[in-house]
Structure 1
Amino acid sequence: MDVLTLHIGHMKTGTTSLQATFRDNAATLAAHGLYYYGKTRTNHALVRPFSKRTKARNESKFLKEYRNEAKANRLPQGLISSETLLRLAPDEIEACLASMRDIAGRVQVLIYVREPVALAISAAHQGVRSGRPLAEIEAQPRILNLTQIITRWRSAVGKENMIVRPFDRAQLANGDVIDDALSVLGCASAGPALQRQAVNEGLSVLGIHMLDRAMARMPDRKMPYDQQRAFNFIKGPRYVLPEAALDRVRKRSAPHVAFLREEFGIELPPSTERPSAPLALSEAELASLAEVFHEINAFAYRLDRSALGRVLGTRMPYSNRFKDEDHPLRAKLAKLGVLDELAAQVATDEDDAEAE
């Protein structure tokens, strides 16, 4: 491999969409000279061995496989995309680069930077999904220390191998982060052939408040992402942080905006989003609505993954599961001709008729 690109995939810069699209189109990318490891949902397993935060510091079986496949396929370009790269300390970066330089003749780093206020607003959505209370997010919005992150990696790989791109539709190739990344990698011709994945939809004002309260009903405020997806489809204006939070982000991120302008000539247009209006619901009404929605949604999630659900092949509304694994009984029932009969019974409207 001639060049291996490490994509520092930090949150709210199209990372998940890029990773899902590249994973699902690994064969197409290979045909255009780019090797992307598509056997895991993300590339984290290729990078975690270098982080002190993980239990195992030895080279993972996935990284070994990546190394062997890269040597065997002899593709000129490779890409590893992971949020874990964001959190590596200087000594961990050096260990990571030493390993990656055994795979490719040159290692370069790619990072997308987003206007801080827009990033903080989107990060609030992600924060609630991760279980962080909305009130806490509004008091302490996410502010990324881009100066430290970029300086740390630039010192390790050299200025000529540090690629910083604005996450701004007006400045991205075709207004799309996937097309922009392909352009950076010299594989723009692969773009039209890709089946793209759009993920991490934003939450409405009502949706984020309902999810926040539903999270409070979960152990340790943790909810499987597929169970959360229904909240994404609650319609209404997109949630935006309060003015005090937005002002805090503007003031604290000003040095990083100046750093990007001075060091890389990057101008990020200020966000024009305005704070969300208060909900026209009392706390009791909102809590009740969230409870009912959560209980129905949680039941559908459990049924979907139960033995019965896997036998019948049910799929809860709004699900986006990566893999489906049939229950062993499904094939046996299909062979006996029972499966179609069961599915037909599930599909009838007898219960509705009885209710009338």
Structure 2
Amino acid sequence: MKLVCHIGTPKTGSTYLQGTFQQNRDWFLERGIIYPDLLSPLANHITLFYAAATYLDPSAVAYGLHSMEEVAAFRARLVEHIRAQIDAAPPHAHTMLFSSENLTGNLGRHDVLNLAEMLRPLFDEVEIVIYLRRQDDAVLSMYGEFMRRGYNNQTFDAFLQGATARPAVPHFLQYRVLLEFWLEAFGKDAIRVLLFDRAQMVGGDVLTDFLTRIFDITDTAGLALPAEDNRSLSAPAQEFLRRIQPFVPFYQGNSINPARQLLEARINQLPDRPRPYMSRAQSERVLERYRQGNEWVRQTFLPHHPAPLFPARPELGETSNIGVISLQDFAYLSAFMLTEGKVAAVAPAPNVEA
């Protein structure tokens, strides 16, 4: 049995891929590919992260994990669960498929080594698949996700400062550092680096690209596609969520805040226009921070790709629309949240800055 382990990175269409894999388990199995249950009802194989991590993530409480001793027992249980599914696989099955962006978003060097120790004995071959998104787009998308989830109430400038610091926060933007963890644990020949760029993806989308490049599947007749439910939020919606975050943060002490969870469905339905955009100077600052590491990635994994790995974006303007919200927008978004989106369509009032 071969393992294809898709590890993200975050904000590269992972949720959509996982929804497709889970919704079409029988379709994939007909083609010899098993998308297994990993002791969770989620499409995201997040339990791999909990089992491999050398620390206890607060969200692991939902799986009954309150100590590292319980994590160790869970790891052993998960390994046996995977082995049982391999043993029960039909004769034509040749590949097991895992997918979790948490494996790049949340794991460090020792965690990845733990994961390799878990998985290597189970499979005859392991292929690690990773999509890399240009860091300026990734920063923009990740900031929106932080505001959506309520992780903090940083301004975009402060978030950008962290993303371009040494070391960067979030860490997975440092693609060389990230890939060196996986190189050490699995070896270069096991790693497949792909670019999350619609202009370069087969069919212009991540699902077609993944199926074609990884499984050589070009006929998708009968494949059911899930709704894309991980859309980005508008620039005013992001600023609205940033300002209310201190009152309903994601975490309450060491646990997830139940009040925030109650708002999650309404937050996910907030408007997605106007789209947020950064300035040309902000984009150049991000790309310059990662230029050397990106060149190492290109030379190591994509030597035929023209340099630089991610080119500059001269089409951007001198200003950004992130962090700006009018009183009218704030009132509208408040009403949207209070009424679950059942708001009257009214002409916008003159823009009055909050």
TM-score tier, shorter chain, comes to 0.7 to 0.9
SS at the partner of 1:110? strand
2:292 to 255, 262, 270: 255
1:50 aligns with 2:52: yes
State how far apart, in whole Å, the 2-side matches of 1:260 and 1:278 are.
30
Structure 1: state its 5+ residue gaps. 301-315, 318-356
Counterpart in the other structure of 1:211: 241
Q: 1:279 to 1:135 in 2, by over 3 A?
A: closer
Counterpart in the other structure of 1:73: 89
1:84 aligns with 2:99: no
Deviation for aligned residue 1:160: 1.2
Q: Report the identity percentage.
A: 23
1:152-163 map, 5 Å: 152-163=181-192
Deviation for aligned residue 1:116: 1.3
1:277-356 map, 5 Å: 277=321, 282=326, 284-297=327-340
1:121 to 128, 137, 140: 140
1:199 to 229, 232, 250: 229
Deviation for aligned residue 1:65: 2.5
How many residue pairs are counted as aligned between the two chains? 296
Deviation for aligned residue 1:135: 4.0
1:226 to 265, 270, 275: 265
Q: 1:220 to 1:188 in 2, by over 3 A?
A: closer
**1:293-333 Cα shifts (integer Å, max 9, x gaps):** 33333xx9xxxxxxxxxxxxxxx99xxxxxxxxxxxxxxxx
Counterpart in the other structure of 1:21: 20
1:106-145 map, 5 Å: 106-133=125-152, 135-141=154-160, 142=163, 144-145=173-174
1:96-115 map, 5 Å: 96-115=115-134
Contact between 2:279 and 2:316, CA under 8 Å: does it hold in 1?
A: no
Counterpart in the other structure of 2:31: 32
Contact between 1:9 and 1:111, CA under 8 Å: does it hold in 2?
A: yes
1:176 aligns with 2:205: yes
Contact between 1:211 and 1:290, CA under 8 Å: does it hold in 2?
A: no
Deviation for aligned residue 1:57: 2.6
Q: RMSD over aligned Cα, in angstroms?
A: 2.8
Counterpart in the other structure of 2:351: none
**1:87-123 Cα shifts (integer Å, max 9, x gaps):** 3333332332222122210112111111111111111
State how far apart, in whole Å, the 2-side matches of 1:164 and 1:261 are.
10
State how far apart, in whole Å, the 2-side matches of 1:125 and 1:214 are.
14
Q: 1:273 to 1:177 in 2, by over 3 A?
A: farther
Letter of the 1:260 counterpart: V
TM value normalised by structure 2:
0.74
SS at the partner of 1:169? coil
SS at the partner of 2:102? helix
- Which structure has more relative contact order (CA 8 Å, sep 6+)? It is 2
Deviation for aligned residue 1:63: 4.5
SS at the partner of 2:339? helix
State how far apart, in whole Å, the 2-side matches of 1:108 and 1:131 are.
34
Contact between 2:153 and 2:246, CA under 8 Å: does it hold in 1?
A: no
Contact between 1:32 and 1:189, CA under 8 Å: does it hold in 2?
A: no
**1:134-158 Cα shifts (integer Å, max 9, x gaps):** 6433322346010011122112212
Which structure is higher in helix share? 1
Deviation for aligned residue 1:289: 3.6
State how far apart, in whole Å, the 1-side matches of 2:191 and 2:212 are.
15
